Amino acid sequence: MVGKLAAVAIGGNSLILDPKRPDVSHQWEAVDETCKHIASMIAEGWNVIVTHGNGPQVGYILRRSELAAHEVHTTPLDLIVADTQGAIGYMLQQSLDNELRRLGINRTILTVVTQVRVDPEDPAFKKPTKPIGGFMTEEEARKYEAEGWNVVEDAGRGWRRVVASPKPLAIQEINAIRALIMNDYLVIAVGGGGIPVMRNERGELKGTYAVIDKDRASSLLAQTLRADLFIISTGVEKVALNYNKPNMQVLDQMTLTEAKRYMDEGHFAPGSMLPKIEAAVEFVRMGGPQAIITDPPNLARALRGETGTRIIPG
């Protein structure tokens, strides 16, 4: 395996630069921009495994399916997650290959359709919290709520649909992922947090109506692979206390103790920044050297310690 291993988790929202222009052509622009920074990491000697979110994309496909239900069959949520793993994985594969070729680097990139096992008794199934789809006004959200949606206000950014988000327990394809990395392949895996599956009373795997938080699943992947670094790439350059308030304070670094105190004080929004902090904390708590949270344009600068928020032991 070439170089130290970094697990890079790309947010689904960071793949859509302008919420008013979520169409595929503009998603390509965001993917190309993100892959430039990942390619720079590889050029500097890092081996990388990439994960990605899919919240907006899943929401759009789910709504499209509902609108077309009078004409064609609807699509279950686990299959939609699988669809987005393939589509976003394809975009990342192609764009990253193009960027590496420009840098004179020849690596094979592939996407692993990844199942992640969850507990059928997870309390998340009784209290949906994971936002998917685009942002709505409260008026729009209330209209969809009347149709049976669960909706929440999302960190001051607007209203969104929410679904169950159970805790990831195990990555089914982990042995294949590890073998690919050890053989010098660049791997994209655990897309959208993985396809949520559970075992029935006969021990058979079955999909379930849920979306696993991609940061928690990515943290589990980074822990299992004993990555040297876990990077969460999201829509902000640094983590902040009192986000979007007059007394907002950006953070350069947090120890585990400080991060726990900030979480206990309620500084991070559920379904938004909170799961990112929890994922970074869990990686470091389980022995990972450090985690970084930043946005795609600042990946390289964050690696050099110039920006981003670093979570460290202590």
Domain assignment present for residue 141? The answer is: no
Q: Is the same domain home to 182 and 49?
A: yes
Q: Is the same domain home to 240 and 107?
A: no
Least confident interval from 31-35, 156-160, 188-192: 156-160
Catalytic residue status for 206: no
Catalytic residue status for 167: no
Catalytic residue status for 156: no
Count of structural domains within the chain = 2
Q: Of 11, 47, 53, 276, which one is the catalytic site residue?
A: 276
Joined tokens for residue 83: 């669809």
> How far is the C-alpha of 33 from the C-alpha of 31, rounded, in Å?
5
Q: Is the same domain home to 314 and 210?
A: no
Q: Is the same domain home to 213 and 238?
A: no
Q: What is the pLDDT of residues 179-227, one digit of tens each?
A: 999 999 999 999 999 999 999 999 999 999 899 999 999 999 999 999 9
Q: Is the same domain home to 55 and 181?
A: yes
Position 161 scores a pLDDT of 82
Q: What's the pLDDT band for 300 if we cut at 50, 70, 90?
A: confident
> What is the length of the chain?
314
Q: Is the same domain home to 236 and 304?
A: yes
CATH number at residue 253: 3.40.1160.10
CA-based Rg of the chain, rounded to a whole angstrom?
19
Q: Is the same domain home to 181 and 253?
A: no
Q: Is the same domain home to 198 and 257?
A: no
Catalytic residue status for 214: yes
Position 19 scores a pLDDT of 67
Q: Of 214, 271, 298, 308, which one is the catalytic site residue?
A: 214
Q: Is the same domain home to 172 and 311?
A: no
Domain assignment present for residue 68? The answer is: yes
Q: What is the pLDDT of residues 73-132, one digit of tens each?
A: 888 899 999 999 999 999 999 999 999 999 999 999 999 999 999 999 999 999 888 777
Catalytic residue status for 143: no
Domain assignment present for residue 4? The answer is: no
Q: Of 55, 130, 194, 271, which one is the catalytic site residue?
A: 130
> How far is the C-alpha of 277 from the C-alpha of 260, rounded, in Å?
9
Position 225 scores a pLDDT of 97
Position 80 scores a pLDDT of 94
DSSP alpha helix (H) spans, 44-183: 55-67, 77-102, 138-146, 174-182
Position 308 scores a pLDDT of 96
- Sheet of strand 186-188: strand arrangement: 109-111, 186-188, 47-52, 5-10, 229-233, 291-294, 309-312, 253-255
**Residue 98 lies in domain:** 13-129+164-218
Q: At what angle do helices 274-285 and 214-224 cross, to 10 degrees?
A: 10
